[in-house]
Structure 1
């Protein structure tokens, strides 16, 4: 039989571990765009419209080119949930529906965050996401309001 004191110690340890794990920095996701995007901020709805391929042009008229990581990538999941307010499977359904109906296309999937940064930096109109900090003068970090 376990004593009350042991149970209390186990509970205290569990709470401390949970607090420590919750406070670990998992990386802030940054919404990023090519430096010529012409905007410094997007609303959450505008970001959703870009990533669901429904908003096709930037305010300056430049064609938007959307880059994403694979559906099972942890950063893609966090970005989808926390920035867009969607689950990755919801994004996939939207893209698949547009492809199969012939009304649109899916974004370009890149294999790594490094490739994401390279493609956004070198593609006019590009939009994507990455873990901060980003130190590339060709990439603009967008605020999401």
Structure 2
């Protein structure tokens, strides 16, 4: 009986590990309003936009940046995987701009569903979503 319990426990642990690994493998995609003409951004440009240093799209349209809370797992994955920075580094950059009066922090949303709605309804908007939240009201921007 003890051996069966150990096997079940080991199997459950393996399943839990596999499911969390699978969840982490799903990419967080860069997503914009459908009216944005840009279809591809470099990592450096994307990082500059999310650090609020670049405020316009290449065509001159204002960028409206939307982010989830610093402690949201999707925000953390986006910052680390796509921007190659930690969430606290972004927050420090935003705080510096706000406190110095040289810029603004991005717009915060609480959920990915809210993110999708704000991206779809705000011209020039840029944010990020997991694939399951995509629909035809937003477009994916590829990163090279």
- Normalising by the smaller structure, the TM-score range is 0.7 to 0.9
Deviating runs (4+, > 4 A) in structure 1?
Answer: none
Cα 1:75–1:135 shift into 2, 3 Å: closer
- Aligned-residue Cα RMSD (Å) equals 2.2
- 1:28 maps to 27
Please give the secondary structure, in 2, of the residue aligned with 1:33.
strand
Please give the secondary structure, in 1, of the residue aligned with 2:38.
coil
- What is the CA distance between 1:135 and its match in structure 2? 4.0
Count of aligned pairs between the two proteins: 135
- 1:108 maps to 107
Please give the secondary structure, in 2, of the residue aligned with 1:140.
strand
Greater Cα offset, 94-103 or 26-35: 26-35
Counterparts in 2 of 1:1-145, with a 5 A limit?
17=14, 20=18, 23-26=21-24, 27-145=26-144
| 1:87-128 Cα deviation digits (max 9, x unpaired) | 000000000000000000100000111000000001000000
Q: Distance in 1 between matches of 2:70 and 2:20?
A: 24
| 1:8-64 Cα deviation digits (max 9, x unpaired) | xx9xx79x9397357523332010001111111110001101100111111121110
TM-score (norm 2): 0.84
Q: Distance in 1 between matches of 2:20 and 2:120?
A: 33
Q: Distance in 1 between matches of 2:43 and 2:98?
A: 24
Q: Distance in 2 between matches of 1:128 and 1:74?
A: 15
Q: Distance in 2 between matches of 1:138 and 1:128?
A: 13
Unaligned runs of 5+ in 2: 1-6
| 1:62-81 Cα deviation digits (max 9, x unpaired) | 11000000010000000000
Unaligned runs of 5+ in 1: 1-9
2:116–2:134 Cα contact (<8 Å) kept:
no
Cα 1:133–1:20 shift into 2, 3 Å: closer
